[in-house]
């Protein structure tokens, strides 16, 4: 039989029609694919030699969903709707011959919906199925919220549609989402299954007609209420999970067709929302970070089989765990037995806590610990393909360590520094191989946080950069390449954000008010609670040491300094911006702090006033944006979207707002620019607008447009 189009081919095998999708890399339902499948179904329906049909993906996967690139075309009015996809679903479901979806790789989103509209599903043992639309601020829009509860029950469907996490083939079988797991060749197994179904003579089984799992109204209501409660607590302003539950609820209350209508309304509401547009931006931004102009895909890489870490403190310990978690053997060096023991004890207790939570087995913990080899010497450092330095943050100490590493590490090994602020080129200058030196700035806790800032020195070689980017993926991180400026991208911007949070206190806001406004905005934690967690002494020391590098006219952070003078360093001393009762990490507002702030404001002659949440958001978030714009025009970040990824994965910025630069686009660059100009007049020259911000505002442009002009699509 002739292929219907090049994206979809049709063959026959033992009386079974085989429709194969060939739309690499992930067989998304791009234009042409649904049309091809519809035409193939119609052709096979009329072919009397065919008794059943198998739908399978060519290449590495079944179908990873609707084509995400198409959504923007719909919301911007360039494209009408998703009707070819819906026509495909009707053709598949209505086919009088049984259709079997054969799943390998992933059946995600519209991919799972396509599989569920087929009459049966079989899968490879390693296949995954899921409705991850919420991660794009969407809900399933092709019947997923109506068919999944009919197959898997309301509780499981709510969890999968509201949470977006995929499940494996074994679980999918247990929950009734698939009918058989095929060991060995998937297509052969699917054809055998198809022949069995055809031989049974039963009419095609339509998922829409399977109502058994919806029968218990009281249990359904309970499952929906529990899901709503759980997602409501987690959502904090993020809409899609609750919309997904609303759609699943419709399956329990309405007919199938009415339920689909409701789902479609909710899907479209989500599709046109700023939240979904922001999350689609994040999806592509996450994939753009590894595309580096001038760094070809085939740049030779250094195989990383063994690692070594210098320093077993909080950062060094976390980095060591990140390597062990990825299955890479790692030497962990400390200067004294006591410090080494302390570091190892912390690593062991961290793993034990994960085992206790049921997220790791004892056996996995033992395997990971066995990969960590503690040492007090550099004896085996020549075995390491990469050495990560994670000693105390001070230039002289870092230089001493790098000079030592220069003489013990193999010449081709990568020498990475975990510095969060210091000059990578100065560190590299003490070695005879600056091309092998790079910054790997992990975020605490390093075994958990997804961000890795990869700091490119002047001489870091292409191979060291390319290896760092793929190593980040191996470690389960998102690596973002940044330039070598003070604080790099994340901390340089964070300093401006923290500064404004603290100034707002002296001007009249309370500690809880500032934190609550930013938590309400969607930040994982408020800036003052974050300060207490990180330790206020760290920024105090930096403020004192680098006074000469401060922006022009910047006034002192009086209250923050005063707290440190009183020994209030945050959680570790039981008090900072908040009080922490013995053994607790929960912040308790402290009237003493309010008094200190009021005294500092009086001493500085600041007239305190009422400050609302809007001002708190604008002062702190626009400070991020203004500094981000400076970083961008100075070339220390490659793209505005890279900055967004840094903030989402390293600083708890809400992904559904797309990151600070994307947020500025949503608010309107002109509005941001006007406010920054006002802040400059009201507060001082440290608010001088970034020239890029002024330029974008004047040209009515966005950061997204800036990115596009700078790095045209490949």
Catalytic residue among 133, 263, 286, 615: 133
Number of residues in contact with ligand 3H9 under rule CB under 6 A:
25
CA distance 277 to 659: 12
Query: Which residue, 288 or 517, is less far from ligand 3H9 as judged by CB?
Result: 288
CB of 544 to ligand 3H9, least distance (A): 45
CA distance 428 to 409: 14
CB of 268 to ligand 3H9, least distance (A): 9
CB of 142 to ligand 3H9, least distance (A): 4
Q: Which of residues 273-312 bind ligand 3H9 (CB under 6 A)?
A: 287
Is-contact 295 80, C-beta < 8 A? no
Query: Which residue, 111 or 317, is less far from ligand 3H9 as judged by CB?
Result: 111
Query: Which residue, 7 or 560, is less far from ligand 3H9 as judged by CB?
Result: 7
Which residue intervals of 535-590 are DSSP H helices?
Answer: 536-545, 558-565
Three-state DSSP string of 40-77: HHHHHHCCCCCCEEEEEECCCCCECCECCHHHHHHHCC
Pick from 39, 53, 82, 304 the residue near ligand 3H9 by CB under 6 A: 82
CB of 328 to ligand 3H9, least distance (A): 20
* Continuous segment of H or E residues that includes residue 479: strand 478-482
273 three-state secondary structure: coil
CB of 318 to ligand 3H9, least distance (A): 24
CB of 140 to ligand 3H9, least distance (A): 4
**Distant-in-sequence, close-in-space partners of 662: CB < 8 Å, separation ≥ 6:** 278, 281, 282, 285, 640, 641, 644, 703, 704
CA distance 168 to 116: 16
Catalytic, 269? Answer no
CA angle 53, 56, 59 (to 5 degrees): 155
**Distant-in-sequence, close-in-space partners of 313: CB < 8 Å, separation ≥ 6:** 339, 343, 390, 391, 392
Query: Which residue, 64 or 529, is less far from ligand 3H9 as judged by CB?
Result: 64
Binding pattern for the stretch 17-46 against ligand 3H9, x by CB under 6 A and - elsewhere: --------xx-x------------------
Strand pairing category for 372-375 and 330-333: parallel
* Continuous segment of H or E residues that includes residue 343: helix 337-356
CB of 473 to ligand 3H9, least distance (A): 8
Burial of residue 369, with CB atoms counted within 10 A of its CB: 0-12 exposed, 13-18 middle, 19 or more buried? middle
| Chain-centroid distance, C-alpha 606 | 41
Query: Which residue, 132 or 650, is less far from ligand 3H9 as judged by CB?
Result: 132
Beta bridge partners, 372, equal 330
Burial of residue 709, with CB atoms counted within 10 A of its CB: 0-12 exposed, 13-18 middle, 19 or more buried? exposed
Catalytic residue among 6, 35, 113, 404: 113
CB of 111 to ligand 3H9, least distance (A): 7
**Closest alpha carbon to 436 in 470, 473, 480, 402:** 402
Query: Which residue, 605 or 712, is less far from ligand 3H9 as judged by CB?
Result: 712
Residue 271: Cβ within 10 Å count: 20
CB of 33 to ligand 3H9, least distance (A): 11
**Closest alpha carbon to 104 in 152, 47, 172:** 172
Query: Which residue, 266 or 371, is less far from ligand 3H9 as judged by CB?
Result: 266
Which single residue brings its beta carbon nearest to ligand 3H9? 109
451 three-state secondary structure: strand
Taking CB under 6 A as the binding criterion, the range among 128-136, 415-423, 578-586, 692-700 that sits at the site for ligand 3H9 is: 128-136
Taking CB under 6 A as the binding criterion, the range among 130-138, 179-187, 485-493, 668-676 that sits at the site for ligand 3H9 is: 130-138
Contact call for residue 73 and ligand 3H9 (CB under 6 A):
no
CA distance 348 to 330: 15
Query: Six-digit token pair at 581?
Result: 């009762």
Strand pairing category for 99-103 and 120-123: parallel
Contact call for residue 132 and ligand 3H9 (CB under 6 A):
yes
Catalytic, 582? Answer no
Place of tokens 């230039």: 395
Pick from 69, 205, 458, 544 the residue near ligand 3H9 by CB under 6 A: 69
Contact call for residue 648 and ligand 3H9 (CB under 6 A):
no
CB of 702 to ligand 3H9, least distance (A): 21
Strand pairing category for 437-442 and 451-455: antiparallel
Is-contact 483 637, C-beta < 8 A? yes
CB of 138 to ligand 3H9, least distance (A): 6
Is-contact 493 627, C-beta < 8 A? yes
Pick from 37, 53, 66, 631 the residue near ligand 3H9 by CB under 6 A: 66
Taking CB under 6 A as the binding criterion, the range among 137-145, 253-261, 323-331, 448-456 that sits at the site for ligand 3H9 is: 137-145
Q: Which of residues 164-203 bind ligand 3H9 (CB under 6 A)?
A: none
CB of 441 to ligand 3H9, least distance (A): 23
Q: Which of residues 364-393 bind ligand 3H9 (CB under 6 A)?
A: none
Contact call for residue 479 and ligand 3H9 (CB under 6 A):
no
Strand pairing category for 8-13 and 16-21: antiparallel
CA distance 332 to 323: 11
CB of 659 to ligand 3H9, least distance (A): 17
Contact call for residue 140 and ligand 3H9 (CB under 6 A):
yes
Query: Which residue, 106 or 461, is less far from ligand 3H9 as judged by CB?
Result: 106
Binding pattern for the stretch 102-121 against ligand 3H9, x by CB under 6 A and - elsewhere: ----x-xxx--x--------
Query: Which residue, 249 or 334, is less far from ligand 3H9 as judged by CB?
Result: 249
Query: Six-digit token pair at 488?
Result: 């790099």
Query: Which residue, 141 or 654, is less far from ligand 3H9 as judged by CB?
Result: 141
Taking CB under 6 A as the binding criterion, the range among 141-149, 433-441, 582-590, 639-647 that sits at the site for ligand 3H9 is: 141-149
HSE-up of residue 690 (Cα within 13 Å, Cβ side) = 21
Query: Which residue, 223 or 271, is less far from ligand 3H9 as judged by CB?
Result: 271
Contact call for residue 68 and ligand 3H9 (CB under 6 A):
yes
Contact call for residue 67 and ligand 3H9 (CB under 6 A):
yes
**Distant-in-sequence, close-in-space partners of 222: CB < 8 Å, separation ≥ 6:** none
Residue 283: Cβ within 10 Å count: 17
Pick from 17, 65, 162, 457 the residue near ligand 3H9 by CB under 6 A: 65
> How far is the first Cα of the chain from the last one, in angstroms, to the nearest whole number?
35
Query: Which residue, 136 or 160, is less far from ligand 3H9 as judged by CB?
Result: 136
**Closest alpha carbon to 156 in 143, 141, 136, 171:** 171
Q: CA quadruple 94, 95, 100, 103: dihedral positive or negative?
A: negative
Greatest alpha-carbon span in the chain? 92
Query: Which residue, 67 or 618, is less far from ligand 3H9 as judged by CB?
Result: 67
Is-contact 222 230, C-beta < 8 A? no
Q: Which residues are catalytic?
A: 113, 133
Binding site for ligand 3H9 (CB under 6 A): 25-26, 28, 64-69, 82, 85, 106, 108-110, 113, 132-133, 136, 138, 140-142, 144, 287
């Amino acid at each position: 039989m002739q292929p219907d189009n090049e994206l979809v081919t049709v063959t026959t095998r033992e009386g079974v029609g085989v429709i194969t999708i060939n739309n690499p890399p992930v067989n998304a339902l791009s234009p042409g694919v649904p049309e091809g499948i519809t035409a193939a179904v119609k052709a096979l329906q009329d072919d009397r030699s065919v008794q059943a049909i198998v739908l399978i993906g060519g290449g590495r996967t079944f179908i990873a969903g609707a084509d995400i690139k198409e959504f923007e075309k719909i919301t911007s009015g360039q494209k009408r709707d998703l009707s070819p996809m819906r026509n495909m679903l009707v053709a598949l479901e209505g086919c009088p011959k049984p259709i079997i979806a054969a799943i390998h790789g992933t059946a995600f989103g519209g991919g799972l919906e396509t599989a569920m509209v087929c009459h049966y599903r079989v899968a490879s043992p390693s296949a995954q199925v899921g409705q991850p639309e919420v991660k794009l601020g969407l809900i399933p829009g092709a019947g997923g919220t109506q068919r999944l509860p009919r197959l898997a029950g309301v509780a499981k469907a709510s969890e999968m549609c509201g949470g977006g996490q995929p499940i494996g083939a074994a679980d999918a079988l247990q929950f009734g989402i698939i009918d058989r797991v095929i060991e060995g060749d998937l297509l052969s197994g699917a054809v055998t299954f198809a022949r069995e179904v055809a031989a049974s003579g039963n009419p095609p089984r339509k998922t829409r007609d399977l109502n058994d799992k919806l029968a218990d109204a009281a249990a359904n209501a309970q499952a929906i209420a529990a899901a709503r409660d759980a997602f409501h607590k987690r959502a904090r302003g993020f809409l899609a999970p609750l919309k997904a539950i609303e759609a699943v609820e419709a399956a329990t209350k309405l007919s199938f067709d009415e339920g689909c209508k409701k789902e479609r309304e909710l899907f479209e509401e989500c599709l046109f929302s700023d939240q979904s547009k922001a999350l689609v931006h994040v999806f592509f931004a996450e994939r753009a970070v590894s595309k580096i102009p001038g760094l070809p895909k085939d740049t030779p890489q250094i195989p990383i089989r063994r690692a070594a870490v210098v320093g077993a403190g909080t950062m060094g310990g976390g980095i060591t765990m990140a390597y062990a978690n990825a299955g890479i053997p790692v030497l962990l060096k400390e200067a004294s037995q006591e410090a080494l023991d302390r570091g190892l004890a912390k690593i062991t207790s961290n793993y034990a806590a994960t085992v206790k939570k049921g997220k790791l087995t004892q056996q996995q913990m033992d395997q990971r610990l066995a990969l960590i080899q503690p040492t007090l010497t550099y004896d085996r450092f020549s075995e390491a393909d990469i050495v990560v330095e994670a000693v105390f943050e001070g230039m002289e100490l870092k230089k001493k360590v790098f000079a030592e590493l220069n003489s013990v590490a193999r010449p081709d090994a990568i020498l990475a520094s975990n510095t969060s602020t210091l000059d990578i080129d100065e560190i590299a200058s003490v070695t005879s191989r600056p091309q092998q030196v790079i910054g790997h700035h992990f975020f605490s806790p390093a075994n958990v946080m997804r961000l890795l800032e990869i700091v490119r020195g002047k001489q870091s070689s292409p191979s060291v950069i390319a290896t760092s980017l793929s190593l980040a993926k191996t470690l389960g991180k998102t690596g973002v390449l940044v330039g070598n400026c003070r604080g790099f991208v994340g901390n340089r911007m964070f300093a401006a954000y923290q500064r404004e949070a603290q100034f707002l206190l002296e001007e009249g806001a309370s500690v809880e008010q500032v934190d609550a406004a930013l938590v309400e905005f969607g930040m994982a934690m408020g800036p003052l609670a974050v300060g207490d967690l990180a330790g206020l002494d760290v920024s105090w020391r930096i403020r004192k040491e680098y006074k000469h590098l401060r922006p022009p006219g910047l006034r002192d952070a009086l209250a923050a300094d005063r707290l440190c003078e009183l020994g209030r360093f945050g959680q570790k001393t039981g008090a900072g911006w908040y009080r922490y009762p013995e053994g607790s990490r929960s912040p308790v507002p402290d009237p003493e702090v309010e008094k200190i702030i009021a005294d500092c404001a009086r001493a500085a002659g600041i007239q305190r006033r009422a400050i609302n949440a809007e001002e708190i958001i604008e002062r702190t978030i626009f400070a991020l944006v203004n500094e981000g714009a400076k970083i961008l025009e100075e070339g220390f970040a490659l793209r505005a979207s890279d900055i967004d990824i840094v903030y989402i994965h390293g600083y708890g910025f809400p992904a559904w707002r797309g990151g600070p630069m994307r947020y500025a686009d949503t608010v309107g660059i002109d509005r941001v620019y006007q406010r920054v100009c006002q802040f400059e007049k009201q507060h001082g020259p440290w608010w001088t607008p970034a020239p890029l911000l002024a330029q974008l505002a004047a040209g009515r442009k966005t950061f997204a447009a800036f990115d596009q002009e700078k790095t045209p699509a490949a």
